[in-house]
Amino acid sequence: MPNVALRSIVQGCSLSEAAVGMNIHQGDQVNLHADQQTYQVIGVDGDHNRCWIRRWPIDPQGGSPVFEVSLQQIAVSVS
């Protein structure tokens, strides 16, 4: 399976799906294919096709735990 993450000079990584391209960077707000919740990107590892996210906005009572997902789980939005 090809790795769709491309290294770039800027922090984060570039993803491409066919004709649709998307850049993911630390601090970005994204959605997952599995649900329509909003998440904040905490970190990106393009070499291993992973990123760390937390639910956004942060829960004021106990914070929002950070968890790791595959970059393929990030929903690509078409502008």
For tokens 């956004």, name the residue. Answer: 56
- With respect to residue 10, please indicate whether it lies within any of the assigned structural domains: yes
Q: Domain span at residue 30?
A: 5-73
Domain total of the chain = 1
CA atoms within 13 A on the CB side of 15: 22
pTM score over 0.85: no
- With respect to residue 79, please indicate whether it lies within any of the assigned structural domains: no
pLDDT tens track for 2-58: 545 544 444 455 554 333 456 899 999 999 999 999 999 999 998 999 999 999 999
- With respect to residue 78, please indicate whether it lies within any of the assigned structural domains: no
- With respect to residue 46, please indicate whether it lies within any of the assigned structural domains: yes
Give the CATH number for residue 32: 2.30.30
Cα distances from 64 to residues 18, 27, 38, 49, 59, in angstroms, run 33, 14, 12, 22, 6
* pLDDT score of 64 more than 70: yes
